[in-house]
Structure 1
Amino acid sequence: MPTDDLPETFRVTTEEQLRAVSNLTRHRIMSVLRFEPATITQIARRVGLAKGSSSYHVRLLERAGLVKVVRTRKVRGVTERYYAMAARSIELPDPGEGGPDLLMRHAVADLEAAPSGAERHVGMVHLRLTDAQFTELGERLRTLAEEYRALSDPSLPDTSLVFALFHPATGDPIEEETE
């Protein structure tokens, strides 16, 4: 399926859409559909689900507008549907102060489920930046991610890149106990 006609971004705005993307299984289904259309059977195999469970989750994503049928074909008298993402990327609403960030929770779950012997690059760096540097770094990270997304080849293994640039919460300094 050519992705030239896909909208760049799908903005999650309704409770139904937010519930649809909040589920880790549906997050993994969307990962399968990120680069190429797939049938319920193909999705079930890739995600490790029963076909019925896969169908249920895909229907919820379709109802929320996040995935769509892009092609059908008849196979032994049954109509086989190929599903794909409705947009190149999904933009979630800001979780607000103290709210859970769904993307980070899903990314951590995917990282924990990844094969332990596989190559990984995970790190955390603490920085002190001006507002302008903070904005510039965020834009550079986004641009770099987009450059590599454009190089993605559906025939190659999946790779996930997750980044979070944020100002951590600041609390009261830790008071030392005195005796």
Structure 2
Amino acid sequence: MPSDDLPETFHVTTDDQLRAVSNLTRHRIMAVLRFEPATITQIAERVGLAKGSSSYHVRLLERAGLVKVVRTRKVRGVTERYYAMAARAIVLPDPGEGGPDVLMRHAVADLEAAPVDGERHVRMAHLRLTGEQFAELGARLQALADEYRELSDPSLPDASLVFALFHPSSRKQAEAEGDAK
């Protein structure tokens, strides 16, 4: 399926969709399907799952509307299905107060599972910004991510980029929340 045919974004809005993307195995399956369609067998090999487990997780993603069959072909009397992402990007809802941020949990799990001897660029910076600077930095980070996503070539090795720009809770707010518990 040409990537031109894909909608730009898919907004996760239902509990079933959120449960589907909250699972690390399904997150990794979606990563396999990010650039090109794959069969259940190909997905299972790339993620390191049994075909039955791969099929189960793909069916859940398909029911949630996150992946879809983009082509089929007959192989020895069996119909082989190729699955692809339903959109170029998945937009998750804000986690809400006290809720875990699914995207960040998956990013940390992927980072921890990455080869230790592989090249990494990990950094955390604490900044003090005006509201305008905060908004500008967020827009620049998003534009940079979009620019490099457009340059992505499925024949090249995967690279993941995750960023979070946020205002942490203040010390007073954290202490007040701790006292309330």
Asked whether the two chains share a fold, i.e. TM above 0.5, the reply is yes
**Structure 1-normalised TM-score?**
0.95
Sort the Cα spacing of 1:60 and 1:173 in 2 relative to 1 into closer, same or farther, 3 A: closer
Q: Give 2:130's aligned residue.
A: 130
Sort the Cα spacing of 1:174 and 1:79 in 2 relative to 1 into closer, same or farther, 3 A: closer
Percent identity of the aligned residues?
83
Q: How does 1:28-39 map to 2 (within 5 A)?
A: 28-39=28-39
Once structures 1 and 2 are overlaid, which stretch shifts more, 96-105 or 61-70? 96-105
Q: How does 1:16-165 map to 2 (within 5 A)?
A: 16-165=16-165
Q: In 1, Cα distance between the equivalents of 2:82 and 2:5? A: 17
The amino acid of 1:48's aligned partner reads: G
Q: In 2, Cα distance between the equivalents of 1:173 and 1:36? A: 45
**Structure 2-normalised TM-score?**
0.94
Q: In 2, Cα distance between the equivalents of 1:14 and 1:104? A: 19
TM-superposition CA deviations, 1:121-149 (whole Å, max 9, x none):
00000100011110110000000001000
What SS class does the counterpart of residue 111 from structure 1 fall into?
A: helix
Q: How many residue pairs align between the two structures? A: 175
The root-mean-square deviation of aligned C-alpha atoms, in Å, is 1.4
Q: In 2, Cα distance between the equivalents of 1:26 and 1:136? A: 33
> Where does structure 1 differ by over 2 angstroms across 4 or more consecutive aligned residues?
171-175
Following TM superposition, by how much is the alpha carbon of 1:99 offset from its aligned partner in structure 2, in angstroms?
1.3
Q: Which runs of 5+ in 2 are unaligned?
A: 176-181
Q: Which runs of 5+ in 1 are unaligned?
A: none
